[in-house]
Structure 1
Amino acid sequence: MEDKKLTMPMIALRGLTVLPQMTVNFDIIRDKSIAAVEQAMVGDQRVFLATQKQPDEVIPDIDGIFQVGTIGYVKQLVKMPGGMVRVTVEGQERAELLEMEKGEACCTAIVEILDPVEDDLDTIQKEAMLRILKEKLEEYGKLNVAAGREVLSPLIAQPDLTELMNQISAQFPWNYEARQSVLECRTLTEMYETELQLLLTELEVYRVKREFQTKVKAALDKNQRDYILREQLRVIREELGEENPVSDADEMKEQLKKIKASVEVKERIRKEINRFQNMPAGSQDANVIRTYLETVLELPWNKMTKDNASLKHAEEILEADHYGLEKVKERVLEYLAVRILTKKGTSPILCLVGPPGTGKTSIARSIAKAMGRKYVRISLGGVRDEAEIRGHRKTYVGAMPGRIVEGLKQAGVANPLMLLDEIDKVSSDYKGDTSSALLEVLDSEQNVKFRDHYVEIPIDLSEVLFIATANTTQTIPGPLLDRMELIEVNSYTENEKYHIAKDYLIPKQLEKNGLSKEQLNITGPALEKMIHSYTREAGVRNLERRVGDICRKAAREVLEKKKPSIRVTERNLDHYLGREKVFFDAAGNEAQVGIVRGLAWTSVGGDTLQIEVNVMPGKGVLQMTGQMGDVMKESAQIALTYVRSVASDYGVKENYFEKHDIHLHIPEGAVPKDGPSAGITMATAMLSAVTGRKVLPRVAMTGEVTLRGHVLMIGGLKEKLLAARMAQVEKVLVPAKNQPDVKELSKEITKGMEIVYIKEMNEVIREAFVPEK
């Protein structure tokens, strides 16, 4: 055995095993390995090729190298750039490493050439093994078609078992550990078992791989394919060092970190982001979830503004922005005082009720300004779909959140002042009851966890200050009305209109029309005439329009006639506004029979109604004209019944009503009239016509009458008294139960008028009829 020991240069290979009869190219860069090859080229061109057990070691000791290696013949040596050398080696014989010496130049090994693989098989066994190997090679070829064409065809054609196994181990793309196990085999049987095991493992790997590929291919659709391509594009960009755009899901996760919300809310949103991230990009579901996530991430959740804690500041703003409206201002300051003391209070739901043009919307804006809150206006006029309030479920096409959530999103904070404008004009249809949907919003017990159908996550509305506006409470459903605190915004007096116009409307219109105070001056008397003779309304909307008319005409005169300044007086007012538009039916000085002045409330303020009654021979018919509504017709019937019951007390014959017809008329027949406050007026007019007694000319009255002659209380007293003042009435008869309402009115309204409180109809007759001599 001594003649089989050789000393030769050695190369420790990393991740590579060379087998006999195998030609391989590999690159070497370590100095000792290059020196070993160069030394071999100087000698017999043979080098010992052994494989390192750990490829990441630099140059291991003998224990770190597999003991069995291959003696290789260096066929070619090529120097490459960077100090690298490419070597072509042909494996010749197996050898065992006995000793290893790390010299200064290179590693030297003492090896012993191993005997060829022992042939321990007979002919039949070899044939059986040969067939089994070829069958497995054919199976492998069916699974790996490319390998079958290039590699397997010459292997299957090989008739010799030993040669076949040598070629299999040399040509199959096994790792170095598999090849090392083949290299260390001493017999054909051991070599066969090792290679067969490796082939079976390779077959199983390819079979599983093919199953996975089949399943993935079946599951992939166009969107999944796009997703894979995008991922590949991302990897390619990373490899090329190009900037990789941040995905939508990553951006949403960054946004989620910044929002102020509870842990539960963030967790719900995070789950939706993860779901969105795993969806194929561009799919319909992904677009729905993207829109949903963009919405919920823009909501303010727990982000809030700090209320202004200065009552004086709030009072100054309210006084500067609005003239009068003492009750409203007082209520707002009370709310703010409570909030300052408690640090946190349940926000009330205020409802400002009043005629159009009285400044309800601008009051809400001023309250927001005084409190330092964001202001959001939601118009509810004509809204009839419940989804407008609660939102649509996000599974529907075109789904969107409700107006409440949109308002929060617009405000950007969780505690804005939210104005629900025209709440009395919401309606219902087959899509649901809108007013019922508002119950959850406006109920302090429920709105802590308000659920919008689109957002689905409970939203806390308890910090929102809701203010609703309405022209009347009659069309607001009872349960909804019960949840709001009503504050009446009544009609303005002429004096209030004068100050509002002077302090607010005229400066606003001057700026709007590009004029200065020096260019246009509207005198006080002109303004008073404008209010009295050109507008009839509870608010100041038409008054602002008339001021705007004057400003536009003045602007034209400034440009065309080069006037430096224009002065509008009582005399030249008709030049700018035309003839007078409003005429008040002033009370006369002459007492008449069957004519009584009543007071009525309208949507634009108060008005006076002159009720006329005439009696003529007939059959006892009551005729009513003047566009009277059902309520007023019933009041007329009640008034007639009362008059008939007391007629004998005034000297009327018993059969008088059977032989006479009564005609009751309210002038301006084209204008519809209705309401329960004209009962005493009609009864007084009928009794006057029947008895022939005259009624005092400067007396007006309001109130409902019962069959027994009791006088019932009425509403809209401020507007009615304003109308009486315009008609120059000196005495007004008011139900006694309305006495507290009169006490709340300003002296400006009642000044110069005698207010008489009445309980029974006989008191009305005593005050209204001309005393008998």
Structure 2
Amino acid sequence: MQEEKKEAGLFPTIPLPGLVVFPNVIMPLLIGRQRSLRALEEAINSDQLVFLVAQRNPLTPEPSEEDVFRVGVVAELMRPTRMPDGNIQVLVEGRFRARLLKFVREEPFILAQVEILDEPQDTVDASDLEIHAWMRVAKQSFEKLVQQSRTIPPEILPTIATISTPGRLADTIASYLEIKFEEKQQLLEVIDHKERLRMVVNMLVRELQIIEIEREIENRVKEGVGESQKEFILRERLKAIQEELGERDSFAAEIEELREKVEKAKMTEQAREVALREIERLEKMSPLAPEAAVIRTYLDWLISLPWNKYTKDNIDIEKARRILDEDHYGLKDVKERVIEFLAVRKLSKETKGPILCFIGPPGTGKTSVGKSIARAMGRKFVRISLGGIRDEAEIRGHRRTYVGALPGR
């Protein structure tokens, strides 16, 4: 076999989508593409080795010479088995690293001219303590990875323990690592055994760190699920207790009624989200809690607001002047200011104008002028009496942190 290693030659070639085969490693392949099947059959019938090379893009259905990497392996075929669907399952054992020179032909199967790469002798000098250390670290790290991984079979550990050369150790471990096939291809292309082993150790350390992070994430998720399950059980118990006390049915009906009222109120999206969030808070607490009464009052106030109910302005300056004259004698300056306000409102509807403020003793016409303005604009008139109020909170509303908090006027 050594003579075969030194010679370049023509080999039936099988491109592998997303897969890299290493020397001295046995692995199963399932061959299904027509050109690959014909190449496999040719190698079996003529008792030949095959050239296995990874595709650059695994999704390319019929790869050409430009679609495969330049370095692959010459491999031996073992125990081919034809499946019922026509595919062939076969074991392959990588023998030598090899460089693709060119495709000689592509039909009916790919026949490639391949050069066997001249690798340094895979031996270990007893005085080379560094390489011994790297090999020991590689074996220990791989053992940790197998113990923590769900996909690497533990049966491989005795085989790894008996490997005494750095190149073969690196290739064998690399074939079991769950890394991208591009990274495996990089390892395949490294001829120097020490450098390849160093790269494998770095990848092992990285994979162990990834598994550790995955475990931390899983633990956090489990803790979160545990808390959620605990909360769910406690709420179910609370519901059962409330039903025994006769509280649950009426309270649940009240919650459902509040939800229906919120949906029918035609609130803005922001107000609707706030209302539904408050209903969820109310649902989680006892109906007799002081905070429940505050939330009920707040929700009733939100629902009672005239969302999307408004009267369109109908501003007619002459009509407004006539109505003001009909309702009030004198007050020339006041009437002119009102007409000026309405004129500005009519000309620039989008601009928010000032707020009119009438000041005067009782009985001088402040409220009646407001009624006249509403009648002139075709708007509804609302009167809020603030006489005698001394507390600001009665106008602005109380903070909801207080028991018995009420909205302002």
- For this structure pair, what is the TM-score category when the shorter chain's length is used for normalisation? 0.5 to 0.7
In structure 2, the partner of 1:98 is 101
Q: How has the CA–CA distance of structure 1 residues 160 and 371 changed in structure 2, closer, same or farther, with 3 Å as cutoff?
A: same
Secondary structure of the structure 2 residue equivalent to 1:177: helix
Q: Alignment partner for residue 69 of structure 1, among 65, 69, 73?
A: 73
> What code does the residue aligned with 1:71 have?
A
Structure 1 residue 310, shift from structure 2 partner = 1.3
In 1, distance between residues paired with 2:405 and 2:330? Answer: 36
Structure 1 residue 121, shift from structure 2 partner = 2.9
Structure 1 residue 17, shift from structure 2 partner = 0.8
In 2, distance between residues paired with 1:192 and 1:4? Answer: 25
In 2, distance between residues paired with 1:361 and 1:368? Answer: 11
Structure 1 residue 26, shift from structure 2 partner = 4.5
In structure 2, the partner of 1:172 is 177
> What code does the residue aligned with 2:69 have?
I
In structure 1, the partner of 2:14 is 11
In 1, distance between residues paired with 2:223 and 2:390? Answer: 43
Q: How has the CA–CA distance of structure 1 residues 143 and 119 changed in structure 2, closer, same or farther, with 3 Å as cutoff?
A: closer
Structure 1 residue 353, shift from structure 2 partner = 6.5
Q: 1:622-643: CA deviations, max 9, x gaps?
A: xxxxxxxxxxxxxxxxxxxxxx
Secondary structure of the structure 1 residue equivalent to 2:149: helix
> What code does the residue aligned with 1:183 have?
L
Q: 1:102-151: CA deviations, max 9, x gaps?
A: 333221113344567613432454x8645543334434555774239844
Secondary structure of the structure 2 residue equivalent to 1:207: helix
User: Which one is further off, 12-21 or 129-138?
Assistant: 129-138
In 1, distance between residues paired with 2:330 and 2:159? Answer: 101
Q: How has the CA–CA distance of structure 1 residues 142 and 71 changed in structure 2, closer, same or farther, with 3 Å as cutoff?
A: closer
In 1, distance between residues paired with 2:177 and 2:68? Answer: 26
Secondary structure of the structure 2 residue equivalent to 1:350: coil
Q: 1:411-445: CA deviations, max 9, x gaps?
A: xxxxxxxxxxxxxxxxxxxxxxxxxxxxxxxxxxx
In structure 2, the partner of 1:134 is 136
In 2, distance between residues paired with 1:165 and 1:175? Answer: 16
Q: How has the CA–CA distance of structure 1 residues 103 and 143 changed in structure 2, closer, same or farther, with 3 Å as cutoff?
A: closer
Secondary structure of the structure 1 residue equivalent to 2:91: strand
Judge conservation of contact 2:174–2:200 (CA < 8 Å) in 1. Answer: no
Structure 1 residue 85, shift from structure 2 partner = 3.8
Judge conservation of contact 1:389–1:403 (CA < 8 Å) in 2. Answer: yes
1:154 aligns with 2:154: no
Judge conservation of contact 2:141–2:204 (CA < 8 Å) in 1. Answer: no
In 2, distance between residues paired with 1:209 and 1:173? Answer: 11
In 1, distance between residues paired with 2:403 and 2:45? Answer: 83
Q: 1:388-431: CA deviations, max 9, x gaps?
A: 4345668x579999647xxxxxxxxxxxxxxxxxxxxxxxxxxx
Unpaired segments ≥5 residues, structure 2: 229-267, 278-282, 285-294
Secondary structure of the structure 2 residue equivalent to 1:167: helix
1:23 aligns with 2:26: yes
Secondary structure of the structure 2 residue equivalent to 1:157: helix
Q: 1:138-181: CA deviations, max 9, x gaps?
A: 34555774239844743563253365444313322233334334
Q: 1:447-472: CA deviations, max 9, x gaps?
A: xxxxxxxxxxxxxxxxxxxxxxxxxx
In structure 2, the partner of 1:561 is none
Structure 1 residue 16, shift from structure 2 partner = 1.4
In structure 2, the partner of 1:310 is 316
Secondary structure of the structure 2 residue equivalent to 1:195: helix
Structure 1 residue 10, shift from structure 2 partner = 0.9
In structure 2, the partner of 1:348 is 356
Judge conservation of contact 1:97–1:111 (CA < 8 Å) in 2. Answer: yes
In structure 2, the partner of 1:539 is none
Unpaired segments ≥5 residues, structure 1: 227-253, 257-272, 277-281, 405-773
Q: Alignment partner for residue 47 of structure 2, among 27, 39, 44?
A: 44
In 2, distance between residues paired with 1:110 and 1:44? Answer: 18
> What code does the residue aligned with 1:69 have?
V
Q: How has the CA–CA distance of structure 1 residues 389 and 88 changed in structure 2, closer, same or farther, with 3 Å as cutoff?
A: farther
Judge conservation of contact 1:100–1:110 (CA < 8 Å) in 2. Answer: yes
Secondary structure of the structure 2 residue equivalent to 1:100: strand
Q: How has the CA–CA distance of structure 1 residues 219 and 46 changed in structure 2, closer, same or farther, with 3 Å as cutoff?
A: closer
Judge conservation of contact 2:122–2:165 (CA < 8 Å) in 1. Answer: no
> What code does the residue aligned with 1:161 have?
T
More strand by proportion, 1 or 2?
Answer: 1
Q: How has the CA–CA distance of structure 1 residues 55 and 159 changed in structure 2, closer, same or farther, with 3 Å as cutoff?
A: closer
Judge conservation of contact 2:55–2:67 (CA < 8 Å) in 1. Answer: no
More helix by proportion, 1 or 2?
Answer: 2
In 2, distance between residues paired with 1:383 and 1:371? Answer: 30
Structure 1 residue 18, shift from structure 2 partner = 0.7
> What code does the residue aligned with 1:90 have?
V
Name the structure, 1 or 2, with higher relative contact order (CA <8 Å, separation 6+).
2
Secondary structure of the structure 2 residue equivalent to 1:35: helix
Q: 1:282-329: CA deviations, max 9, x gaps?
A: 99xxxx9xx9xxx9xx999xxx9864331454467789xxxx853499
Q: How has the CA–CA distance of structure 1 residues 178 and 388 changed in structure 2, closer, same or farther, with 3 Å as cutoff?
A: same
Judge conservation of contact 2:359–2:366 (CA < 8 Å) in 1. Answer: no
Secondary structure of the structure 2 residue equivalent to 1:109: strand
Secondary structure of the structure 2 residue equivalent to 1:18: coil
In 2, distance between residues paired with 1:369 and 1:80? Answer: 90
In 2, distance between residues paired with 1:378 and 1:41? Answer: 99
In 2, distance between residues paired with 1:168 and 1:211? Answer: 22
Q: 1:29-75: CA deviations, max 9, x gaps?
A: 54433432343344437432112345455523268522342324153
Judge conservation of contact 1:17–1:51 (CA < 8 Å) in 2. Answer: yes
> What code does the residue aligned with 2:25 have?
M
Judge conservation of contact 2:53–2:68 (CA < 8 Å) in 1. Answer: no
Task: State how 1:588-599 maps to structure 2 within 5 Å.
Answer: none
Q: How has the CA–CA distance of structure 1 residues 378 and 63 changed in structure 2, closer, same or farther, with 3 Å as cutoff?
A: same
In 1, distance between residues paired with 2:160 and 2:89? Answer: 30
In 2, distance between residues paired with 1:192 and 1:400? Answer: 77
Structure 1 residue 377, shift from structure 2 partner = 4.8
> What code does the residue aligned with 2:77 have?
Y
Q: Alignment partner for residue 209 of structure 2, among 200, 207, 215?
A: 207
Secondary structure of the structure 2 residue equivalent to 1:37: helix
Normalising to structure 1: TM-score of the pair?
0.34
Judge conservation of contact 1:25–1:86 (CA < 8 Å) in 2. Answer: no
Structure 1 residue 100, shift from structure 2 partner = 1.4
Q: 1:537-567: CA deviations, max 9, x gaps?
A: xxxxxxxxxxxxxxxxxxxxxxxxxxxxxxx
In 2, distance between residues paired with 1:387 and 1:180? Answer: 74
Q: How has the CA–CA distance of structure 1 residues 45 and 12 changed in structure 2, closer, same or farther, with 3 Å as cutoff?
A: same
In 2, distance between residues paired with 1:31 and 1:79? Answer: 14
Judge conservation of contact 2:79–2:91 (CA < 8 Å) in 1. Answer: yes
Q: How has the CA–CA distance of structure 1 residues 203 and 316 changed in structure 2, closer, same or farther, with 3 Å as cutoff?
A: same
Judge conservation of contact 1:21–1:92 (CA < 8 Å) in 2. Answer: yes
Q: How has the CA–CA distance of structure 1 residues 335 and 76 changed in structure 2, closer, same or farther, with 3 Å as cutoff?
A: farther
> What code does the residue aligned with 1:349 have?
C
In structure 1, the partner of 2:292 is none
Secondary structure of the structure 2 residue equivalent to 1:367: helix
Judge conservation of contact 1:309–1:340 (CA < 8 Å) in 2. Answer: yes
Judge conservation of contact 2:11–2:51 (CA < 8 Å) in 1. Answer: yes
In 1, distance between residues paired with 2:144 and 2:402? Answer: 50
In structure 2, the partner of 1:59 is 63
In 1, distance between residues paired with 2:48 and 2:404? Answer: 80
Q: Which has the larger radius of gyration?
A: 1
Alpha carbon RMSD of aligned pairs, Å? 5.4
Judge conservation of contact 2:38–2:109 (CA < 8 Å) in 1. Answer: yes
In 2, distance between residues paired with 1:305 and 1:40? Answer: 89
In 2, distance between residues paired with 1:312 and 1:220? Answer: 74
Normalising to structure 2: TM-score of the pair?
0.58
